[in-house]
């Protein structure tokens, strides 16, 4: 899990966007060319396109990407108990690219395997215009997607994982490959060395880690220079600021933010009465527990005030705040909704002066976060240090 998508819960909050209200009523209609009505509106609406355009570019190490990417974790609807249509996800990915998005983020664990297949079908015609990233590291059968339990970053398994990615993505190289979580049984030197060999073979172009321990990050970089770290980072999840971001700054490593909208908390669509559907991961996240939710809504109030001041929507302010921290930070908000994707892209046009950022941060300091960002069992997989390499 990394780019947890930032969607409202149980359909709540969709009424805030007339675009989505309209699509709910006529989403099953199609034009003669077979395009879903929702996608056709997005393609034809110059207003939506101009507001949802990403023109900015950023560098993750030496890799150029759009200033806002697209997290594709829930394209199969397995994480938040949604049921997106596969054809609509293909059109969403293509429309994101049409609106300037270059970076598309997936993992073999998403689906499993199916999200990579969806992106492969969607982006194969424009392969050379996009940056495809994925992740290995879970003990998954690379042919069937069946979970074999736990983590697996053994060199032979990494190679099998990458070969599977290449087939599903319909490509001859993966632009950016991350270890999904640090494997406590495999020295990071073996992991980085395997990826270094894959880079030499041209099958992988760049290497990254997700949620690593700080010393593991340094050890990996010493074997194969890292392009990016992908960790949860948002106004509500600021853990990386303590150790990981300073290391990235020191070593010239880019940073990709998964769940930059705090699992939709920062969209402003969640309130005290929000109920999560059965199977929605957020029902287990401490942030959303009744005892914590009221306190965290105070943070959302700060974001809404800044959205008013910036003539923007809360998601745009939340993403722009991340991009204001450093020029090598790139958020990858996840969504399965066209209107949300366009809103997210609009963060590219929101900026803060230094004085505004200081004022914003001062308000956040006065408004503490209540509860942990993840359930304890899931959180225990973050910040892990790989075992020492035996000589």
Q: Which residues are catalytic?
A: 110
Residue 246 backbone dihedrals phi, psi, to 5 degrees: -60, -35
**If you count them, how many residues does the chain have?**
391
Tell me if residue 36 falls in helix, strand or coil: strand
Decide if 175 contacts 133 (C-beta within 8 A).
yes
Could you tell me whether strands 103-105 and 131-136 are parallel, antiparallel, or unpaired per DSSP bridges?
parallel
Residue 238 CA: distances (Å) to CA of 267, 271, 338:
17, 22, 28
Decide if 260 contacts 234 (C-beta within 8 A).
yes
In angstroms, the CA 100 to CA 103 distance is 9
Q: How far does Cα 112 stand from its chain's mean position?
A: 16
Beta strands in 157-251 (DSSP E): 176-179, 207-210, 228-232
Decide if 360 contacts 312 (C-beta within 8 A).
no
Tokens coding 229: 């770290």
Would the CA dihedral through 184, 190, 193, 198 be positive or negative?
negative
Tokens 């930032």 -> residue: 6
HSE-up of 90 (CA within 13 Å, CB side)? 16
DSSP annotation of 64 reads: E
Tokens coding 97: 């690219």
In angstroms, the CA 180 to CA 384 distance is 12
Residue among 324, 330, 333, 311 nearest 360 (CA): 324
Tokens coding 201: 């073979």
């Amino acid at each position: 899990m990394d780019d947890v998508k930032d969607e409202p819960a149980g359909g709540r909050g969709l009424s805030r966007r007339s675009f989505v209200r309209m699509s709910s009523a006529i989403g099953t209609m199609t034009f003669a060319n077979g395009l879903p009505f929702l996608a056709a509106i997005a393609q034809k609406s110059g207003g939506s396109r101009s507001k949802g355009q990403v023109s900015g570019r950023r560098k993750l190490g030496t890799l150029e990407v759009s200033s806002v990417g697209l997290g594709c974790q829930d394209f199969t609807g397995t994480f938040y108990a949604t049921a997106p249509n596969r054809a609509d996800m293909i059109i969403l990915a293509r429309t994101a690219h049409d609106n300037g998005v270059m970076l598309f983020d997936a993992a073999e664990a998403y689906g499993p395997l199916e999200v990579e297949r969806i992106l492969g079908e969607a982006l194969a015609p424009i392969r050379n215009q996009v940056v495809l990233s994925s992740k290995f590291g879970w003990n998954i059968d690379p042919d069937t997607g069946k979970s074999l339990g736990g983590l697996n970053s053994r060199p032979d398994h990494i190679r099998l994982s990458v070969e599977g990615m290449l087939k599903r993505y319909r490509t001859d190289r993966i632009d950016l490959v991350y270890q999904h979580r640090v494997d406590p049984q495999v020295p990071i030197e073996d992991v980085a060395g395997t990826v270094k060999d894959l880079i030499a073979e041209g099958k992988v172009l760049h290497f990254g880690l997700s949620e690593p321990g700080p010393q593991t990050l340094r050890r990996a970089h010493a074997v194969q220079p890292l392009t990016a770290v992908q960790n949860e980072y948002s106004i509500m999840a600021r853990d990386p600021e303590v150790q990981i971001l300073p290391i990235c700054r020191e070593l010239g490593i880019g940073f990709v933010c998964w769940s930059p909208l705090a699992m939709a908390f920062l969209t402003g669509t969640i309130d005290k009465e929000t109920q999560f559907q059965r199977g929605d991961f957020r029902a287990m996240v401490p942030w959303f527990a009744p005892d914590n939710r009221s306190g965290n809504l105070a943070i959302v109030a700060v974001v809404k005030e800044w959205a008013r001041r910036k003539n923007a929507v809360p998601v745009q302010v939340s993403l722009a705040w991340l991009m204001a921290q450093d020029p090598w930070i790139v958020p990858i908000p996840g969504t399965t909704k066209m209107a949300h994707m366009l809103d997210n892209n609009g963060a590219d046009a929101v900026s803060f002066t230094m004085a505004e950022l200081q004022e914003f941060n001062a308000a956040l300091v006065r408004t503490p976060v209540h509860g942990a960002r993840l359930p304890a069992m899931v959180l225990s997989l973050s910040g892990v240090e790989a075992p020492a390499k035996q000589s």
